[in-house]
Amino acid sequence: MDVLGAKVRAIRKSKKISQKELSEGICTQATISNIESKNRCDSLVIFSAICRRLDVNVEDCIEYTQEQKLNLFLDEIEKMCSRFDHKAAYQLLADYVVEESEDIDGNAILKSKYNYYQGITALVGAKDSSSALFYFHQNIGYNKKPNIYEILSINALGVLYENENEIDRAKVYYKKSLNLLKHYDGETASMIYKIYYNSAQFYSQIKDYRTSIVLCEKGIYLNEVEETFYYLDFLYYELGFNKYMAGETAMMEYKTAYYLAKHLKNNELAKIILQDAKSYDFPFQADENGVI
């Protein structure tokens, strides 16, 4: 593993710690010497312990390749999109220049990830369907076992055609993405939940409330199994809305969605839930502390 040896040495000296003191109980003094002079450490566990002793983030002392830097950058774009801040994410991607040393073509998942976020930020952040269509199609039809970003791109084509009111065409892509998801055996990424949520929203829009309920319940159940919170506030809200529209009791789902939204600082969704409560005459409102 390549590390920033000069930075480690500078921090160590600023804290007046000797190599021997830094190594004590962690590794040999020779390991510290190799880190500082050769910019190498063969153990992430050892390097993490050294960084903790120096009170510095390990990520700030690793020498990332250009490919790794791009992947980390796209992780930040992913976080922005999960907060529905697609416009700012679009601008960041527009300003990003892929360097020649970044071998995107040699990394199928990274290339798919890059294409997907170029497409979804163009679609949602810039309202540019043509660019979105171009990037999504870059991800489609090449692999028998598509990765999660390829499945997401198919799902996003459903969003695109739904926005253009081509409902039958949108349904084809939503169905295809959900079918591919059934056979997906890769890592359980947060994006899986986004596919469930996007699809549930679509079926809700076309008044197929029962299908939407099933998709929400699948996303919620997967969160329970994986012990995660991905899109859980949105999934509970969508579940509550569709249960209400289907004539079922939805109070528990709405309350759960509200408290999750407050916990996850999703204030916009919390407002929507309270607006629904007023519109649908649910017997709850929030007090000055946000408690219902």
C-alpha span between 288 and 141 (Å, rounded): 52
Tokens of 203: 């079926």
Choose the CATH number for 5-61 among 1.25.40.340, 2.130.10.30, 1.10.260.40, 3.30.70.270. Answer: 1.10.260.40
Task: Give the list of residues 6+ apart from residue 192 with CB closer than 8 angstroms, or none.
Answer: 148, 181, 184, 222, 230
Quote helix, strand, coil % in the chain, to nearest 5: 70, 0, 30
pLDDT in tens, the chain (292 residues): 889 999 999 999 999 999 999 999 999 999 999 999 999 999 989 999 999 999 999 988 998 888 888 998 999 998 888 878 999 999 999 998 776 545 566 788 899 999 999 999 999 999 999 999 999 999 987 667 899 999 999 999 999 999 999 999 999 999 999 999 998 988 777 889 999 999 999 999 999 999 999 999 999 999 999 999 999 999 999 999 999 999 999 999 999 999 999 998 888 899 999 999 889 888 877 777 767 7
Q: Residue 59 half-sphere exposure, CB side, CA atoms within 13 Å?
A: 3
Q: Where are the domains of the chain?
A: 5-61
